[in-house]
Chains A and B, each alone.
Chain A
Amino acid sequence: AQKVTQAQTEISVVEKEDVTLDCVYETRDTTYYLFWYKQPPSGELVFLIRRNSFDEQNEISGRYSWNFQKSTSSFNFTITASQVVDSAVYFCALIPGGSYIPTFGRGTSLIVHP
């Protein structure tokens, strides 16, 4: 069985601070896919990134960056120079290769104060 742990239930920062959201996963599969989704206060879920288990290259997209480390089974998400619009719940998810059932973490609520 898979498991995704987002130990940080809630993080509160002030605008322009950098913040890292942690995601630790467990799986016995050698092929798997990791995702991050954002859920703003309006409630919809927005895809941010997908990473497969064979690609450990870190990714940067504007103020967002992701650090995938298989050695520590982590897929952490960093927001640089946070903004109020970044306030949301962020979910990390894992799908084993060949599976159709994703496992989501419990989410981290990020509050960015002006």
Chain B
Amino acid sequence: EAQVTQNPRYLITVTGKKLTVTCSQNMNHEYMSWYRQDPGLGLRQIYYSMNVEVTDKGDVPEGYKVSRKEKRNFPLILESPSPNQTSLYFCASSLLGIPNTGELFFGEGSRLTVL
């Protein structure tokens, strides 16, 4: 089954404790991206990757890191989480290197709470 898988789905952590949210897709998609969803703000892109070893900032990259060592994986790293990073996070992928020509396939979301 074609899918984008995120883990963990739910996480409660404390300020400053490094965490990683994994994202994996099995569709051989070139483009992958991370979003955060906050009430009243819709989705905002954090980072995106056009292919292996190629990443770039989205609209709200501060406090986040990403890596793309393999085509299928695109982990989101919070080196020192803060309460304002409490949010619902989505990973998404798209078949083509130019994502605006195709639909985004989203993972199920990861709800992160930083105390």
Contact = CB atoms under 8 A, between A and B. Distances in A.
Interface of A: 4, 6, 32-33, 35, 37, 43-47, 50, 91, 93, 95-107
B40 to A, nearest CB: 6
Contact of B42 (A35, A47, A105): A105
Contact of A107 (B31, B42, B48, B109): B42
A98 B97 CA distance: 10
Interface residues of B, number: 28
Given A33-B100, A101-B59, A47 B31 contact: no
A28 B99 CA distance: 19
Contact of B45 (A44, A50, A98, A102): A102
B48 A43 contact: no
Given A44-B109, A106-B42, 18 more contacts: A44-B106, A45-B43, A46-B106, A47-B104, A91-B42, A95-B100, A98-B98, A99-B100, A100-B48, A100-B98, A100-B99, A100-B100, A101-B45, A101-B59, A102-B100, A104-B42, A106-B40, A107-B42
Contacts of A96: 100
Contacts of B100: 32-33, 95-100, 102
Given A91-B43, A106-B40, A100 B108 contact: no
A101 B42 contact: no
B112 interface: no
A101 B58 contact: yes
Contacts of A4: 42
B53 to A, nearest CB: 16
Nearest to B102: A50
B103 A106 contact: no
Interface in B28-52: 31, 33, 40-45, 48, 50
Most chain A C-beta atoms within 10 Å of own C-beta, residue among B43, B90, B102? B43
Contacts of B44: 104
